[in-house]
Chains A and B, each alone.
Chain A
Amino acid sequence: MRIKYLSLIAAVALVAACETAPKDAGNANTTGGATQSSIRPGSQEDLVVNVGDRVFFGLDRYDLAPEARATLDRQASWLKQYPNVTVTVEGHADERGTREYNLALGERRANSVKNYLVAGGINTSRVKVISYGKEKPAVLGSNEASWAQNRRGVTVVD
């Protein structure tokens, strides 16, 4: 529950912080009141607060921008630090697409993230993928700022 709570606060803080383009590293700086000492190393909370759990994609795109790659470099380092951790990468799309196409697009995005982590030295068996298409928006709202937040790949500790 606490993890979800933190993610939500992080997402809300992100929207407030940038109306135009999301910053991939945004989550690292928004602790939502949590202190370093209360975070269990190698946990989802640790990933969200200290590394950044998500990267963002352009409209109908699945390639990784420099900011996204920087986030994933940190994720790869973090995963090496905790070799027993396995993750699932969730691929998401914004609402401006048909349901089935967005499922496929989310799968593409999740695989972009996975492939980058694997190329960065993470064993492929540690990274699963799942696509939610447009079914689970992170941010509510029908505007460019919200859509930019929702076109995302989110790394979730299993």
Chain B
Amino acid sequence: MTKKTRLLLKAAGCAGALLLALGVAAPAPARAEVRIDITKGVVEPLPIAITSFAGAGGREAQVGSDISKVVAADLERSGLFRPLDPKGFLQTPDQLRSGEPRYQDWRAVGAQALVAGNTTAMGDGRMKVDFRLWDVAAGQYMQGLSYTATADSWRRIAHIVADAIYKRLTGEEGYFDTRIVYVAESGPANARKKQLAIMDQDGENHQFLTDGKNLVLTPRFSPATQEITYMSYFNKKPRVYLFNIDSGRQEVLGDFVGMTFAPRFSPDGNKVVMSMAQNGNTDIYALDLRTRRQTQLTDSPGIDTGPSYSPDGQRIVFESDRGGSQQLYIMGADGSGQKRLTFGEGRYGTPVWSPRGDLIAFTRQRGSNFALGVIRPDGTGERILTESFHVEGPTWAPNGRVLSFFRDVPAGDGRGRSAKLYTIDVTGANERRVITPLDGSDPAWSPLIP
């Protein structure tokens, strides 16, 4: 067994502490328990030096420089890393490319981890991007990886590099090589134009998917495929649709007599669960996308909506007012064993099961305020992440550590509104705006791009 020193990020029992764990590492699986403790408070970000990925010169140099900036921006936005200003670096990227780090120079600038990279043209139109990661405090090499891709996909390469660094230093899967689909909003509040739009998780590569002629709501990403399910008022018939991002093909899902809404995919992407409203009653149905079979899962006289599968596909959390007010319930994926989950003061809606299964995010309405919170599937551990006049619609990053949501603020003149997208750490820390060209609502995070 090779002995090596590992740099590990770990939040200690008390909030704010960061342990730099040095020692002889057991083989990786045995150390799988070393994780950032997501249930604890704010983690002090790790100072990391990211040098330019610029290669020998020419076009690659610019791309390489841009790649290192995107890597740094991704890591910074996570709230777990503090990229240092390259202006203060003592050792040049060229010296790093040809030799070993001078660790004392990196300790001098306060770095605990160091990243160097290189970008070279392959001659066939593709480029090769490689990077190396060092533990500065221990003076040890940690990891090196290499990627080949077409030059125009440099942003994806940067996100993939950032994911690799994030995973190596936190022990958790990254979430930077992902996209967010959402509803872009414009125009006055009583005649709002709403379009589906998609972008990288950092707001780049933004594009509109629909033209805004039809009201569209609540897009949701398939956890398994490049498909979106959403609700559209096309032809004044509010129905759930399936949208294939690659082909652009769209179709109505199911053959329902009433309005269908609140769709979400099953974890394998083979089913969509949704609500159907008819004669004043709303129930939950599952539609198998392969057989097109529709199965009714609830039949209470109340409003049953907001269904969301557990990541193993065995259970569904949903909201219902059957007990008098909106509360969360859990049932088997076949509708069996319906049981109330929340008993708190206020109204609970829009439950979303975390991709890692440990938590369910929700929107809570109490008095004049909305809040986003999480609760364990056994009903314990309820915790509020953020609260304001109007926050709604949580969605999980695929690693189950970060959420996105929207906040709606009435404009000062009382005649308009301003809806913006945000991300927030599951601890409630590190709330950040996601900058979009227009207003935004109903964000939905994609899985890691295959």
Contact = CB atoms under 8 A, between A and B. Distances in A.
A3 to B, nearest CB: 15
A112 B277 contact: no
Contacts of B398: none
Interface in A134-157: 135-143, 146
A62 interface: yes
B370 to A, nearest CB: 8
A108 interface: yes
Nearest to B321: A101
Interface in A90-112: 95-101, 103-105, 107-108, 111-112
Contacts of A64: none
Chain B contact-residue range equals 35 or more
A104 B350 contact: no
B189 A131 contact: no
B123 to A, nearest CB: 52
A97 B364 CA distance: 10
A77 to B, nearest CB: 24
B118 interface: no
B238 A100 contact: no
A131 B239 CA distance: 11
B415 interface: yes
Given A101-B305, A105-B303, A142-B410, A136 B259 contact: no
Interface in A61-99: 62, 88, 95-99
B303 A101 contact: yes
Nearest to A136: B190
Contacts of B188: 140
Nearest to A141: B414
A130 interface: yes
B277 A104 contact: yes
A97 B189 contact: no
Nearest to B442: A99
Interface in B413-439: 414-417
A146 B413 CA distance: 13
B365 interface: yes
B229 interface: no
A140 B349 contact: no
A154 B188 CA distance: 20
B266 interface: no
B280 A108 contact: yes
Given A100-B305, A104-B282, A108-B303, A135 B215 contact: yes
B217 A135 contact: yes
Given A97-B365, A105-B303, A141-B415, A111 B218 contact: no
A141 B188 CA distance: 12
A99 B189 CA distance: 15
A33 B281 CA distance: 41
B133 to A, nearest CB: 43
A98 B190 contact: no
Interface in B369-401: 389-390, 392-393
Contacts of B305: 100-101, 103-104
20 contacts: A60-B325, A95-B408, A97-B349, A98-B326, A98-B350, A98-B365, A99-B392, A99-B442, A100-B218, A100-B306, A100-B350, A103-B262, A104-B282, A108-B277, A108-B281, A111-B280, A138-B190, A141-B410, A142-B410, A142-B414
Interface of A: 60, 62, 88, 95-101, 103-105, 107-108, 111-112, 115, 130-132, 135-143, 146
The 3 closest A-B pairs by CB, nearest first: A111-B280, A98-B349, A142-B410
Interface of B: 188-192, 194, 215, 217-218, 236, 238, 258-259, 261-262, 275, 277, 279-282, 303, 305-306, 319, 321, 325-326, 347, 349-350, 363, 365, 389-390, 392-393, 408, 410, 414-417, 442
